[in-house]
Amino acid sequence: MKDIKYLLICILFNSLILAQYGALKGKVIDAQAGEILIGANVVIEGTTIGTATDANGEFHIFQIPVGTYTLKSSYIGYATISIKDVIINAGLVTEIIIELPPSAYECETVVVQAVTPMVRKDCTTSIQTTKLHDNSNYNITSGVVNNSNIQLRGGRTDNIGYYIDDDEKFVDFNTESYNAIYENEFRDTEVEPLSTFSIDVDAASYSNMRRFIMSSTLPPKDAIRIEELINYFDYDYEIPEEKPFSINYEVGSCPWNEDAYLVHIGLQGKKIVGDELPPSNLVFLIDVSGSMESDIKLPLLIKSFKLMVNELRNEDRVSIVVYAGAAGLVLESTPGSEKEKIIAALDKLKAGGTTAGGAGIKLAYKIAQENFIEGGNNRVILATDGDFNTGASSDAEMIRLIEEKREDGVFLTVLGFGIGNYKDSKMEQIADKGNGNYYYIDNLMEGKKVLVNNLTANLFTIAKDVKIQIEFNPAKVKAYRLVGYENRILNKEDFNDDKKDAGELGAGHTVTALYEIILTDSDLELDISKVDELKYQTIKVSEEAFETNELMNVKLRYKNPDEDVSKLIQMPIKEKDIKDEDLSDNFIFAAAVAEYGMLLRDSKFKGDSNYDDVIEMAKESKGEDRFGYRTEFIKIVETTNLLSKTL
């Protein structure tokens, strides 16, 4: 029955082509060497119809409405040419050989077309994915008919569409992907006194969440990483004098659980200004594949990078590597004094073709190594929607590649763009494993925040492999729960293992973590999974634990950026540090953001949380708010409150 359905679809497909459409096929070659070009872009000007050449340098575009068009072809390192008066006839295939000259040449090509009948035999395989939206927009993205690859593109640019299910119904689908998050549970302090995790300065989850809310949609639960919401904001912590960062802490009543206290731990990175900043060797690694064509992808990316380029100093250097069907160098290492040259290279970028992410990463790190600055800031900045589909594309492959490259002393920043096919899960892991940080750019103001306002913090690493381990005193603390950081949890033995990768801290960065704790004198009964009683040993709390006034001991390990041996800092938090009033704006605002995150996730630990309380706390602790980020947060929560009552 399925075969009959697919055959009917194919017959209908063929009849439409013969009645209203023609097709285009051909080859793209090097005008001088005569060699085929793999991954060259071929698009019909003024439309989203296009493709890239295959392993034989050939291209096929089907279902082109009859008419006369201008065809554009481009390839990295070659001039873009326009082919005018390309005629598409009903039921016929127009064949073209395109010769691209090296980029040093500029030309306009006139081509004589050979027209042959479009022949279709019975379908032997099925169209795999059909994407429709309304009467004027369509997009059949891929399929196989008679073993010929089909790529038909058009209509919507947000990559959200439909497919045909077994009942021949059009079903909405969205290929955005997020790693599953299983919230941290309360831990019995007697059984598990140690809590160990890697710091996280990423902020992608916050701006991605904002994108959903501003579109009047609640985000998926797994898109919400509470620590990234909290760390989107700066906090007023003590500036360090000698060490790379200061450790700040505060203990107060938990807003959403009257039986608990909240422990607020904050790190403040040392600020570096002026002549203290080392020179930068930056490689912009830019995805120019077909999926980046939307206005909120490549065009927004280019505008954001331009803002950053204007902030570069003369001693800084920039290279640009792009990738689509293949990867290539479009700008050799150029000093920051030549801003016009860098911006001109950015302005020439166009989207089209498949996505060879692995090849792009390899080339970017190669260029970074060739221009390596000893004692400088060497960094690859990857800008993409994460939709890799050529070459190394699986999460495991990409992670192994990044882990290998991070040993070269080159750091990584990942910038995410777009909606619909956005691969948050892949980009978070790449940044995590590549000595890097990860941000999502949903508008130009966010581009300015990441690449201008926070440029120093986001690009200049002052400490790497930063880990936190807290030992809770079971005589004072019955149970604890780390709020967020689920994807950053480490084994207790990882804390002292200098080979274990962890997060990086940038100059001036702040990092905040919250623990919800239950004291031993609390009457609250917790549903904590207990292990069976041990047969060969017993758990015994020392007498010193009862005699001390310490609640916990905070330990922190870090390495200097150019070193491989970690340093240890530790400090205790005591009972006398608990206070029920006069809590700082840092404490109150971070708690408000955490509570908001738990509401979005519909957390089982949200307790008495509600949006009105979040708004009240955020307004109370807004502070100076120099850039207006906290004011914007309040508006986002107010919008979410309205959405929650209507959805």
**What is the tens place of the pLDDT at every residue in 365-412?**
999 999 999 989 999 999 998 776 545 555 677 677 777 777 778 889
When mean pLDDT is compared across 132-136, 178-182, 236-240, 307-311, the lowest value belongs to 132-136
Please check whether residue 557 is in contact with residue 466, taking contact to mean a CB–CB distance below 8 angstroms: yes
Residue 146's pLDDT is what? 26
Residue 259's pLDDT is what? 93
Please check whether residue 38 is in contact with residue 54, taking contact to mean a CB–CB distance below 8 angstroms: yes
Residue 312's pLDDT is what? 94
When mean pLDDT is compared across 130-144, 249-263, 348-362, 629-643, the lowest value belongs to 130-144
The CATH class that applies to domain 2-173 reads: mainly beta
Share of the chain above pLDDT 90, in %: 50
Residue 370's pLDDT is what? 94
Report the candidate in 35, 41, 36 with the shortest Cα–Cα distance to residue 80: 41
Please check whether residue 25 is in contact with residue 56, taking contact to mean a CB–CB distance below 8 angstroms: no
Residue 145's pLDDT is what? 24
Q: Where in the chain is the domain with CATH 2.60.40.1120?
A: 2-173
Residue 386's pLDDT is what? 79
* pLDDT(117) > 50: no
* pLDDT(133) > 50: no
Q: Which residue has the higher pLDDT, 105 or 66?
A: 66
Local structure of residue 177 (DSSP, 8 states): B
The Cα 568–Cα 562 span in angstroms is 17
* pLDDT(198) > 70: yes
Q: How confident is the model at residue 571 (pLDDT cuts 50, 70, 90)?
A: very high
Report the candidate in 388, 439, 435 with the shortest Cα–Cα distance to residue 412: 435
* pLDDT(264) > 80: yes
* DSSP letters for 398-459: HHHHHHHHHTTT-EEEEEE--SSS-BHHHHHHHHHHTTEEEEE--SHHHHHIIIIITHHHHH
The Cα 503–Cα 104 span in angstroms is 44
Q: How confident is the model at residue 11 (pLDDT cuts 50, 70, 90)?
A: very low
Residue 82's pLDDT is what? 87
pLDDT tens profile 575-590? 999 998 899 999 999 9
**What interhelical angle do 629-644 and 611-620 show, nearest 10?**
170
The CATH class that applies to domain 187-271+462-522+551-580 reads: mainly beta
Residue 406's pLDDT is what? 75
Share of the chain above pLDDT 70, in %: 82
What tokens does 52 get? 């890239």
The Cα 488–Cα 482 span in angstroms is 11
Q: Where in the chain is the domain with CATH 2.60.40.1230?
A: 187-271+462-522+551-580
Q: Where in the chain is the domain with CATH 3.40.50.410?
A: 274-459
pLDDT tens profile 439-485? 999 999 999 999 999 988 888 999 999 999 999 999 999 999 999 99
* pLDDT(124) > 50: no
Residue 357's pLDDT is what? 67
* pLDDT(5) > 50: no
Domain 274-459 belongs to what architecture? Answer: 3-Layer(aba) Sandwich (3.40)
The Cα 509–Cα 268 span in angstroms is 6
Q: What is the mean pLDDT of residues 82-87?
A: 88
Q: What is the mean pLDDT of residues 226-252?
A: 94
Residue 55's pLDDT is what? 62
Tell me how crowded residue 124 is: count the other CB atoms within 10 A of its CB. 13
Q: How confident is the model at residue 174 (pLDDT cuts 50, 70, 90)?
A: low
Sheet of 477-483: strand order equals: 187-188, 477-483, 510-519, 261-269, 245-253, 578-579
Residue 109's pLDDT is what? 37
Residue 157's pLDDT is what? 29
Report the candidate in 613, 629, 630 with the shortest Cα–Cα distance to residue 621: 630
Q: Reduced to 3 states, what is the DSSP secondary structure of residue 227? A: helix
When mean pLDDT is compared across 137-141, 312-316, 581-585, 640-644, the lowest value belongs to 137-141
pLDDT tens profile 329-364? 999 999 999 999 999 999 999 887 666 667 788 899
pLDDT mean across residues, the chain: 82
* Kind of pairing between the strands at 138-145 and 129-132: antiparallel
pLDDT tens profile 28-42? 898 888 888 876 778
Q: Quick one: which H or E segment has residue 208?
A: helix 204-214
